[in-house]
Structure formats: structure tokens, C-alpha cells
Amino acid sequence: MESVEQILENYYSRGEEINRLVKDKAHKIEFLTTTRYIEKYLKKKDRILEIGAGTGRYSLYYAKRGYKVDAVELTKSNIEEFKKHIDNNMQINIRKGNALELNMYKDNTFDITLLLGPIYHLFSQKDKEKAIREAIRVTKPHGKIFIAYITNDIVIITYGLKKGNLLKMKDICDENYRVKEIPEEIFSVNYVEEFEKMMEKFDVRKLHQISADGISESLSEYINKLSDEEYAIWLDYHFKNCERKDLIGYSSHVVYICEKLGDD
């Protein structure tokens, strides 16, 4: 069996990730929502770390705005694409690394830590907790950590129903339609309640848990047909309701936002 790293390299080498967050109105919602919440806490001269930076959409965005950014990415193809978009005016450092071992960084280094990808690709509770623990370790006391995960039911809706794979669900789900942890299927999922329970183990204070894209993936064909005026209304609806717990479970991407506890 291929290693998880090789499976991810094969997947991301297709080159689809570079445009995922900007390719249409529906996909832009995830980026717009996540940055909206980052900027609730981001201060001038804050130092940012993005773990699992992919092709650098978030890292490059903040580096262009003058922030000092460190980025860690596992796959070679993503790093190569990332580097194409760095210019000499950016204070940005991208290096190959694993979210489970951030030994290159000292404790209490960053003001804002983004863990927006790795939890998708970690297939055991132990590894998920280890990645979160590392992200917390390198964050300063009272710094903010943004942790993204994929929900279980969006897989049933998009991969199963919309893409015509309901007959395959018995192979990748248990009898209750919980998606199994299978590295060859690329993505790992969580239920909202279980993720919140896991986060109780860490010395952090929950600030928000948001649906980064809401039901935009499920309704993409409708959202992408909206006029700019209609799209503004949809965004306003989404922003005002993205923390509603009764809606979060059907979001494609959920972001858990927390503050590292300090000694005071």
C-alpha cells in the first residue's frame, strides 16, 4: 500500500488546488468566510504560521499585505506551485514539513496559526490530536488557532448523491453512514460534536466554530448563477448564520477557532 504522503502527492499533483478557492462564486465563500474571521483577531505585525499551506492561497494573501508568514507543506507539487507566486516584497518562508512534527519551530512563536488542511488527511484520532497539539505548542499564549475539518454528511451528499455514488457508500461507510478512515479515499471526516469533544482535551478557549462555506458546495449550481447583487445577499445570509450549530453539520468545511490559554 502507498504511504499517505504518496497518496496525497498523487492527488495534489493534478494541479486543481491552486484555483479551488477562487474558481467560482460558490468556492470563494470558504476563503471569504475564513479570512473574515482571521481578521477579527489579526493585528499589525502579527506573525503567521500556516500548517499544510497547500499552494499558498492564505499564506500569499497575508504576505502580500505585509505580514511575516511561515508556511509548512507536505507535498512537493504544492510547494513547487506555491513558490511560483512568491515575490521579493513578501516576508514569507515555505518549507517542506509534516503537521505532526514542527520541530523547526520553538514553543510560543506565532500570533496566528492556521491548520486549515492537515486534519482532512489524518486518519486516526491520535494523529489528529498530535497535529493540533503541535499547532498549539508553536502558538503564543493568547494567540489564535484556526483548525479546519470536513464534515461527514457532506461526503454523503456531494460524493454519494450529487456525483452518483450512493451504491458505493456501503464500501466507504459503516452501517450508520459514518465515512470510514481510508487513506486511499483521500479525505478524513468528523462530526461536529466529536470534534468539539476532542478540543476539550487542550488548553485552549473556544472562540467560534463556523461553517466556512455553509451549503455552498451542495448548492453550487444555483450560487454560481447569481448576479453580483444576489450574491451579496447570499453572502450576507451566510455570514450572519455561519455560527449556527444547527447548520454547521452540512457545511463542507468547518473551522474551529480558539485561543491558547496563558498563565494569567
Please tell me the number of Cα atoms within 13 Å of 157 on its side-chain side: 15
DSSP 8-class letter at 88:
T
For residue 120, give the amino acid letter.
Y
CA 182/CA 149 separation, integer angstroms: 16
Task: Tell me the pLDDT band of 107, cut-offs 50, 70 and 90.
Answer: very high
Q: Which of 82, 83, 69, 81 is nearest to 38 (CA)?
A: 69
DSSP 8-class letter at 155:
I
Task: Tell me the pLDDT band of 14, cut-offs 50, 70 and 90.
Answer: confident
Mean pLDDT computed over every residue of the chain: 93
pLDDT at residue 178 in the model: 94
| Domain 4-260: CATH class, spelled out | alpha beta
pLDDT at residue 13 in the model: 81
CA 228/CA 222 separation, integer angstroms: 13
Residue 127 in this model has a pLDDT that exceeds 60 = yes
173's CB contacts (< 8 A; 6+ apart) are 156, 179, 180
Residue 50 in this model has a pLDDT that exceeds 60 = yes
pLDDT at residue 133 in the model: 97
Please tell me the number of Cα atoms within 13 Å of 36 on its side-chain side: 19
DSSP E strand stretches across the chain: 47-51, 68-73, 92-96, 110-115, 139-151, 189-190, 204-211, 253-260
* Model confidence, pTM: 0.95
Residue 1 in this model has a pLDDT that exceeds 60 = no
Helix, strand, coil content of the chain in percent (nearest 5): 45, 20, 35
261's CB contacts (< 8 A; 6+ apart) are 141, 142, 203, 204, 205
Q: What is the pLDDT of residues 18-28, one digit of tens each?
A: 888 888 999 99
Neighbours of 143 (CB within 10 A): 23
Average pLDDT over every residue of 79-91:
92
pLDDT at residue 48 in the model: 98
User: What does DSSP say about strands 68-73 and 110-115: parallel, antiparallel, or unpaired?
Assistant: unpaired
Least confident range from 9-13, 78-82, 174-178, 232-236: namely 9-13
The x, y and z cell numbers of residue 4, run together, are 499517505
Three-point CA angle 56, 59, 64, nearest 5°: 110
> Could you identify the residue written with the cell 454523503?
156
Average pLDDT over every residue of 131-150:
97
pLDDT at residue 264 in the model: 63
CA 77/CA 72 separation, integer angstroms: 13
pLDDT at residue 262 in the model: 80
Least confident range from 119-123, 144-148, 260-264: namely 260-264
Domain ranges of the chain: 4-260
Distance of CA 259 to the CA centre of its chain: 17
For residue 39, the surrounding DSSP H or E stretch is: helix 25-41
Task: Tell me the pLDDT band of 135, cut-offs 50, 70 and 90.
Answer: very high
CA 253/CA 242 separation, integer angstroms: 11
Residue with the bigger pLDDT between 240 and 17: it is 240
The x, y and z cell numbers of residue 68, run together, are 511575516
For residue 1, the surrounding DSSP H or E stretch is: none
